[in-house]
Chains A and B, each alone.
Chain A
């Protein structure tokens, strides 16, 4: 079987095997896997509300998936998406809820500021890598924890609604002018224009890698930095640029959570979930293609929203979804296992 077809098969097989293992666990717990998966599916896709919920959940994952993907293409592992999401979200909340200037708290400007905050945050890791050769995995993990503490600081002190003595650690809601418009207001689900922006980002990133010289050079750096250097590409500059773009995409993910009304337009504890880490799963399952990431994000989001309906209707805890997601990543990490099995089959059929 040729490599390209195998590359396409691996993610599908991984999802299939993970769902099969999940079914095994469900059966072991004495429930009918078909019934459980029926609720999983209908919870995610049956009706306008369900679809709106799934796409709402998918939106930040599309951004972070692209973020991890852009870094991957450059040969970098962006584990720091979570921190970049937080910094983007904090920037959006700070400007959107505290700056009274109509020209600045305009939603477009706020999105750009959030993207810039993400750019600056990941730029630290990019700079450390390009300038000093510091491994980005370690630096971005450290930056994640700095960002997490910074988030707690922001929500408890300078950005807290009602000042430091306010009732709970969250920001006030952002001004009307900073909000992203709802897409399906009749469903009462906060699906917003952020989803459209995410889809546009998919197209732009695709365009960058397929049609522009910059994208081509970034890919070249990812494949072989030494050869790229020799060919006259400024490798350090490309690393810094790609890492920055990665951060700005994650920053947009954070901004969408705040400006899109997920938590009544406030930044509150836990609102950023684990979207940065989900981005890693999304980029891997999407086989590093922007369109693949779009579908992978929708799949993981569907598992999430469907998982809640499954927990509601059966005795299966929704955390099984996280287990299934982890198995999918493990299987993709062990990609060589599939290749050796698929190649063996080929030898037999010859």
Chain B
């Protein structure tokens, strides 16, 4: 029984950073801006949260620092892809690269370390679970209400599906897109903050370890809806948390095959084997009034 409960708690914990980053990605993609820079935004969030927590001694200011760093990266992505109509995928690739170089660079400059920061103050825990996890689930549930029950949510979906129509009825397409993209960075930054000052009390090099891409998978597998994303994140979190347990009972399955599962499931979902996943219609296309 206690194994069962600890497995559930571990699933909830492991799913949290994936969930919040995927919800962030949803904010961006629903407005029509593809964001594959989530991984980098998360990494910057993790790093900045640890650094701010180190210098202020207050992990809660650290959380804000992490979100802000993710938000700044997202602002950069927004300016490139919305204002200058740059290639959104290219911009995302550059942000991931920048984050991976910048964080290690700053580790050396600030702490003269190449692998991790010193120990920094971490957030409080409840039942062994960081406060940040609770914040994450509250935001995830609130995002469902926001996207389906508020005017802003309706505008976001309209802009993502048919920007020209949205523009015609007086919605400021560019403003809504800026909002969506910046939200994605703030939330990915929060996911990163959980990694460094929620789960641990230090930043380690490349600590996002592909979670930004798993979040992208969760977003696609969850079909761009908050409920779907929640389910997908919990499933992926379970695959992660349950690995050791699964290995105990199902012998002969190497752990790598269990780790592949989220990606394979997403490929199957894309192929329509597990319910077809369809992206918002204007996804990836810059909006220009003079087009069409």
Contact = CB atoms under 8 A, between A and B. Distances in A.
Contact of B80 (A145, A320, A333): A333
For the residues of A in contact with B, the DSSP-based class is: helix
B101 A325 contact: yes
B30 interface: no
Chain B CB count within 10 A is highest, among A142, A149, A317, A325, for A142
A153 B257 contact: yes
A135 B279 CA distance: 9
B72 interface: no
A317 B108 contact: yes
* The 4 A-B residue pairs with the shortest CB-CB distance in the complex, in nearest-first order: A322-B101, A326-B98, A329-B94, A153-B256
A75 to B, nearest CB: 12
Contacts of A332: 90
A258 B86 CA distance: 37
Nearest to A148: B210
B256 A150 contact: yes
B254 A128 contact: no
B178 interface: no
Given A150-B260, A153-B254, A333-B91, A137 B98 contact: no
B34 A330 contact: no
A205 to B, nearest CB: 21
A330 B271 contact: no
B254 A156 contact: yes
Interface residues of A, number: 45
B183 interface: no
B61 interface: no
A138 interface: yes
Nearest to B79: A334
A277 B264 contact: no
17 contacts: A132-B270, A132-B272, A137-B36, A138-B270, A149-B259, A149-B263, A150-B260, A156-B254, A277-B97, A284-B90, A319-B108, A322-B100, A327-B98, A333-B84, A333-B86, A333-B94, A336-B86
Given A157-B254, A319-B105, A330 B260 contact: no
A336 B83 CA distance: 9
B105 A317 contact: yes
Given A79-B89, A150-B260, A277-B96, 8 more contacts: A135-B279, A137-B34, A137-B36, A142-B270, A317-B108, A320-B101, A322-B104, A326-B101
Interface residues of B, number: 46
Interface string A324-344: 011101101111110000000
B43 interface: no
Interface in B239-261: 254, 256-257, 259-260
A322 B259 CA distance: 28
A179 B68 CA distance: 50
Nearest to B103: A319
Nearest to B254: A153
A323 B101 contact: yes
Contacts of B93: 79, 277, 280-281, 329
A141 interface: yes
A141 B214 CA distance: 10
Contact of B97 (A137, A157, A326): A326
Contacts of B94: 326-327, 329-330, 333
Interface string B62-93: 00000000000000100111001111011101
A27 interface: no
Nearest to A132: B271
A335 to B, nearest CB: 7
B16 interface: no
B86 A334 contact: yes
B217 interface: yes
Contacts of A280: 90, 93
A323 B270 contact: no
A241 interface: no
A77 interface: yes
A200 interface: no
Interface in B199-258: 210, 213-214, 216-217, 220, 254, 256-257
Contacts of A326: 94-95, 97-98, 101-102
B196 interface: no
A145 B90 contact: no
A144 to B, nearest CB: 8
B117 to A, nearest CB: 15
Contacts of B254: 153, 156-157
A139 B270 contact: yes
A123 to B, nearest CB: 13
A34 interface: no
B84 A143 contact: no
A56 interface: no
Nearest to A329: B94
Contacts of A184: none
B109 to A, nearest CB: 7
Contacts of A139: 267, 270
A144 B263 CA distance: 9
A289 B210 CA distance: 31
Given A137-B34, A149-B259, A152-B256, A330 B270 contact: no
Contacts of A325: 97, 101
B89 A137 contact: yes
A208 interface: no
Contacts of A284: 90
Contacts of B217: 141-142
